[in-house]
Amino acid sequence: MVTIRPANVNDLTTVEKLAREIWPHTYGEILSPEQLDYMLDLIYNNAVLRDQLQHQQHTFLMAELNGEPVAFAVFSTVAPGISKLHKIYVHQKTQGQGIGKLLIDHIVDQLRSQNMHTLRLNVNRHNKARFFYEKLGFKVVKEENIDIGRGYFMEDYVMERQIANVLM
* Domain-located, residue 23: yes
Q: Is residue 112 part of a domain?
A: yes
Q: Quick one: which of 40, 11, 33, 18 has its CA closest to 90?
A: 18
Q: What is the pLDDT along the chain (168 residues), one digit of tens a residue?
A: 999 999 999 999 999 999 999 999 999 999 999 999 999 999 999 999 999 999 999 999 999 999 999 999 999 999 999 999 999 999 999 999 999 999 999 999 999 999 999 999 999 999 999 999 999 999 999 999 999 999 999 999 999 999 975 444
Per the domain annotation, does 6 fall within a domain? yes
Domain ranges, residue 72: 2-162
Question: Is residue 168 situated within a structural domain?
Answer: no
Buried b (16+ CB within 10 A) or exposed e, 124-142: beebebbebbeebbbeeee
Residue 60 lies in a domain: yes
Q: How far is CA 84 from CA 32, 65, 96, in A?
A: 26, 25, 23
Question: For residue 10, is it within any domain?
Answer: yes
| Polymer length of the chain | 168
CATH of the domain at 8: 3.40.630.30
pLDDT given for residue 168 in this prediction: 42
Note whether residue 30 is domain-resident: yes
Number of domains the chain is built from: 1
> Would residue 167 count as lying in a domain?
no
